[in-house]
Structure 1
Amino acid sequence: MPRASIYWTDAGRRAVRDWYDDRLARFPVPVRSRMVDSAFGPTHALEAGPADAPPVVVLHGLDLNAAAMAGLIAPLSETRRVLAIDTIGDPGLSAEVRPRRRGPFYADWLAGVLDGLGLTGPVDLVGFSFGGWMMLKLAAERPDRVGRLAIIGGAGLSWLRFRGQLVMAGAMLRHAAVGTDRSLRAAVRPLYGPGLEPDPDIARLLGLAFRHVIPDPTLACLRPFRPGRFDRLDAPAFVCCGERDVFFDARALLGGARRLLPGLVAAEPLPGEGHIPSPGQMPALADRIRSVLDAPARASE
């Protein structure tokens, strides 16, 4: 039977909720909190930007939440209505349930959440890491729900690096055991490019996740999508990946994007960056994503 919670303890859940409240209190732009029902339980989202602007949905990576995506939400909200969703089964404010990765479950969940947010037609999507995988899952199962795609280091385009998983697993276990500032720096450092300073809020959230969230062992088994899975998809797609990503070989991931996505408009490495784009990279990355999302529609759209 599935566990009733993703947290080891109630105190761990409270620590994550306190992080969320603190981050919202210091958010760089005004945000509104939304809660919608889904087949897998309540799902929380943050909304920012003009209510009448074209919508874009933002999906975070594993062990993060919508509030951790402030570096993208803020610049995108200048011209877009941004809806950043707390993924179920991650340390946010949504249901503490983890559907099976195989099958249509995540696509069904995401489609239902889009309905609940009033987004019934094709919608533009921005996803980081596991959030990119969820976007691709929706695109494979429900291509009619997908507008333009922007994927940052997205899972599902190439195999995970085995060595990277070992490095991160060891660092995470050490921090879970001792919980010091030094162990946190050691755990977060591999996620960023060499010499690049981590985002302090993301680092603090990851530290809480490493200590308090029950790991999901099925994530290590995520396979690349099969050739042909996106043959019905003609949505324009932009894919980027840090050159020094600990989890993915950038050349392999970008090559996978070129092979799998018929509507790919660009596949670009992020020089010197790791799995998580550094704070200094975020403004330029947001501008690049915005240029893709705001590009003139193709004749087939």
Structure 2
Amino acid sequence: MIFKTEAGQRRIMRRYEEILASWPVPAERHQVPSTAGETFVLVSGPEDAPPLVLLHGSGSNAAMWAGDVESWAKRFRVYAIDMIGEPGLSAPSRPPLDSAAYADWLDDVLDHFGLDSVAIVGASLGGWLGLDYATRRSRRVERLALLCPGGVGRQKYGFLFKVALYRPFGQWGMRRSIKAVAGVDPRATPEVADYLTLMFTHFLPRRDRLPLFSDEALRGLTMPVRVIVGERDAMFDSRDTARRIGRTVPHAEVTVLPGVAHSIIGQTEPILEFLTR
């Protein structure tokens, strides 16, 4: 069970359906069979364009990319995947993170669409997934763009104190937690804050630590790599991420955004520029 209640699950799914109904570009919905259960994939962009796979963060779904897809779908066939075990339309299964299960699952999804190799954009947990796949299946990843990826820099836990501190204060406390952890300001982006508040009111996030990639695994990333992190990320040590990527993947482009927290926005065009070189 990945939701606190069935009623809460229905509320999240209703809101997700509203977002999908107002998707900014024409899109196809696919339910793809896999070894880990059915996987929902939202596909948009020209059929003959190069494939781009989008992997969202924890506590989210394909809705995360609503602000980016209009630009990216002009140049790519975009596959926005709902990760298994997250609050989307894919199976609730959560295989062990320290296994090949997620790479096997993504193999199933790509094989379903006949995709031999793809570019990947991943954020947070999706960044970890993109890295996991690229380290295990390097021949299938042409380019890799990562926003605040897990599995590289030291994982932080100090934010849990703030979450516990705000928990007794209902919706107000949840919004304060989201601002403290993700850096999402309800005054600046109220729709995003509302959506995250709905998610984390009713969804049970993963509790297990993200496995760290070894230096050896990171050195195996021979494809072009772009990494963007926020200086004030409360979940991952961004300086540590930048140092490790710089040391093990010297050809990678790494940007540390000053004053930015875990939630990274406004990178649609920089990522598109990297993907289309």
Task: State the TM-score bracket (shorter-chain normalisation).
Answer: over 0.9
What is the match of residue 117 of structure 1?
A: 113
SS in 2 for 1:57: strand
Residues 109-148 of structure 1: pairs in structure 2 closer than 5 A? 109-119=105-115, 121-148=116-143
What is the match of residue 78 of structure 1?
A: 74
What is the match of residue 287 of structure 1?
A: 269
What is the match of residue 4 of structure 2?
A: 8
What is the match of residue 246 of structure 1?
A: 234
TM-aligned CA distance change 1:174 to 1:25, over 3 Å: farther
What is the match of residue 274 of structure 1?
A: 261
Inter-partner Cα distance in structure 1 for 2:181 and 2:158 = 13
Q: CA deviation at 1:112?
A: 1.3
What is the match of residue 35 of structure 1?
A: 31
Alignment root-mean-square deviation, CA: 2.0
Give 1:230's match in structure 2, choosing from 210, 215, 218.
218
Partner letter of residue 79 of structure 1?
A: R
Post-superposition Cα deviations, 1:26-85, rounded to whole Å, max 9, x if no partner, equal: 222222211111100000011122222111001000000012221222221121111110
SS in 1 for 2:218: coil
Post-superposition Cα deviations, 1:230-249, rounded to whole Å, max 9, x if no partner, equal: 34331110001012211123
TM-aligned CA distance change 1:244 to 1:123, over 3 Å: same
TM-score (norm 2): 0.92
Identity %: 36
SS in 2 for 1:256: helix
Inter-partner Cα distance in structure 2 for 1:168 and 1:49 = 39
What is the match of residue 214 of structure 1?
A: 204
Could you tell me whether the CA contact under 8 Å between 1:133 and 1:156 is conserved in 2? yes
> Where do 5+ consecutive residues of structure 1 fail to align?
296-301
TM-score (norm 1): 0.85
Give 1:204's match in structure 2, choosing from 194, 203, 215.
194
SS in 2 for 1:230: helix
Could you tell me whether the CA contact under 8 Å between 2:56 and 2:122 is conserved in 1? yes
Inter-partner Cα distance in structure 2 for 1:92 and 1:118 = 23
Inter-partner Cα distance in structure 1 for 2:15 and 2:230 = 27
SS in 2 for 1:217: coil
Could you tell me whether the CA contact under 8 Å between 1:8 and 1:213 is conserved in 2? yes
Q: CA deviation at 1:263?
A: 4.3
> Where do 5+ consecutive residues of structure 2 fail to align?
none
SS in 1 for 2:217: coil
Q: CA deviation at 1:202?
A: 3.1
What is the match of residue 99 of structure 1?
A: 95
Q: CA deviation at 1:98?
A: 0.6
Q: CA deviation at 1:8?
A: 2.1
Partner letter of residue 176 of structure 2?
A: A
Partner letter of residue 66 of structure 1?
A: A
Could you tell me whether the CA contact under 8 Å between 1:6 and 1:96 is conserved in 2? yes
